[in-house]
Homo-oligomer: A and B are copies of this chain.
Amino acid sequence: MPGSSFGQAFRITTAGESHGPANVVIVDGCPPGLPLSEDDLRPDLARRRPGQSHLVTQRQEDDEPEILSGVFEGKTTGTSIAILIRNKDQRSRDYGDIRGKYRPGHADFTYDAKYGFRDYRGGGRSSARETVARVAAGAIAKKLLATEQGVRIVGYVTRVADIVADIPDPASVTLEQVECFADGAPNPVRCPDADAARRMIERIDAARKDLDSLGGVGEIVAVGVPAGLGEPVFDKLKADIAKALFGVPAVVGVEYGLGFAAAELRGSEHNDTFAPGSAPGAITTTTNRHGGMLGGISTGQPIVVRAAVKPTASLARAQETVTDQGEATTIETRGRHDPCLLPRFIPIAEAMIAIVLADHWLRHRAQNA
């Protein structure tokens, strides 16, 4: 009933706050024999890390993971894997002002309403700091899926404010295209349309200087997912992926395939045609408006999902609000924060989708091995 566990067969449980000593994740249910070390976790942790560019929060964390259990002689044992990531750059003094005031757009008020009081340092458990644990767990899920099923999961930014990227073929975008420009320079905004990326970067910089923030849209594609994953009725694959993404702070919308645009089409325009695949007896669809799932179960086509992320609620400018006693006041959020959440959202969203796919692959095996 409490909310810090996710998944059934591949299950993660997390703990940790923005300004506490550490974040922890326990991954339970990972199959035995998967080669695993801290080196497998570091790349995605680095992609999520604060301070990685001028577009994101300047909090300095090395996010160095320590695997405490579940790995022996370089391989997973099948028992629970605990990973510890210490917090190092807590500056709680930054947040003294928010002790008795509610930041607009944040969970300060709702945590007080729920629990009667709150750890106000950096948002406590409601901070996106907790996603560091998800990314560590997601790296295990990604490796498991890649090794065992050849699944590849890549996310990227398709929109910041009114700048919309042009991604002709989502299923062919590579991690390299997301992380770097064609000349090899890092792409801090994680948009594979270089022209759009440059405009996004400028726009985010401008918003930051204006003490404001921007929202946007991220798209994540999973290629190589076998047909048949997902459960009928409530635990459809689309249902669990959506739950996973809406569990990430600041996500306000999720859609698959054509998504909301499907509302405008007729059935004859929207249905994808089944057709013989390249291998004998294989079946494919000639288009992928359905986003890789039918009846909530994977079709073998790429899973394509988009999430809308609201503009960062923390603003360094004065905003009207109330105290926890209900009296009108103003607040400026002086702590470090991201002027746009999208660049760091991408590895978090990939991680959550990897966890859902690993979970549903194992769930499927239970019944249909």
Report the minimal beta-carbon distance from A127 to chain B, rounded to whole angstroms.
10
Partner of A267, one of B66, B213, B217, B282: B213
Interface string of A9-52 (1 = CB under 8 A from B): 10101111100111110101111110000000000000000000
B2–A274 contact, CB under 8 A? no
30 contacts between A and B (CB under 8 A): A1-B11, A2-B235, A3-B28, A3-B230, A4-B26, A5-B234, A6-B233, A14-B26, A15-B26, A30-B367, A31-B367, A32-B367, A32-B368, A33-B117, A75-B117, A79-B232, A80-B233, A107-B294, A114-B229, A126-B232, A213-B266, A215-B267, A239-B243, A242-B242, A242-B254, A254-B254, A262-B311, A267-B313, A276-B322, A365-B369
Sorting the interface of chain A by its residue count into under 10, 10 to 19, 20 to 34 or 35 or more gives: 35 or more
**What chain B residues lie within 8 Å of A282 (beta carbons)?**
326
CB within 8 Å of B: which A138-163 residues: 159-162
Closest chain B residue to A226, Cβ basis: B113
In the bound complex, how far is the Cα of B16 from the Cα of A66, in angstroms? Answer: 13
Q: Is the CB of B116 within 8 A of A33?
A: yes
Question: Which residues of chain B are near A84, meaning CB under 8 Å?
Answer: 22, 24, 68, 84
Q: Is the CB of B69 within 8 A of A15?
A: yes
The B-contacting residues of A in range 239-292, CB under 8 angstroms, are 239-240, 242-244, 246-247, 249, 251-260, 262-277, 280-283, 290-291
Map CB proximity to B onto A308-335 as digits: 1 under 8 Å, 0 otherwise: 1111111101011110011110000000
Q: Is A223 an interface residue (CB 8 A)?
A: no
> Is A194 in the interface zone, CB < 8 Å from B?
no
Chain B residue with minimal CB distance to A263? Answer: B215
A285 CA / B125 CA spacing, docked (Å): 23
A207 interface hit (Cβ, 8 Å): yes
Residue A300 lies at the interface, judged by CB distance under 8 Å to chain B: yes
Give the number of times this chain occurs in the complex, counting copies.
4
Asked whether B283 lies within 8 Å of A109 as measured between CB atoms, the reply is yes
B308 engages A262 (CB within 8 Å): yes
Interface centre among A246, A257, A328, by most chain B C-beta atoms within 10 angstroms, is A246
Taking CB atoms, residues of chain B closer than 8 Å to A368 are 31-32, 78, 114-116
Closest B-chain residue to A253, C-beta based? B255
Separation of A162 and B9 alpha carbons in the complex (Å): 42
Query: Does any Cβ of B come within 8 Å of A181's Cβ?
Result: no
Q: Is the CB of A274 within 8 A of B130?
A: no
Closest to A321 in B: B274
A76 to chain B, nearest CB (A): 9
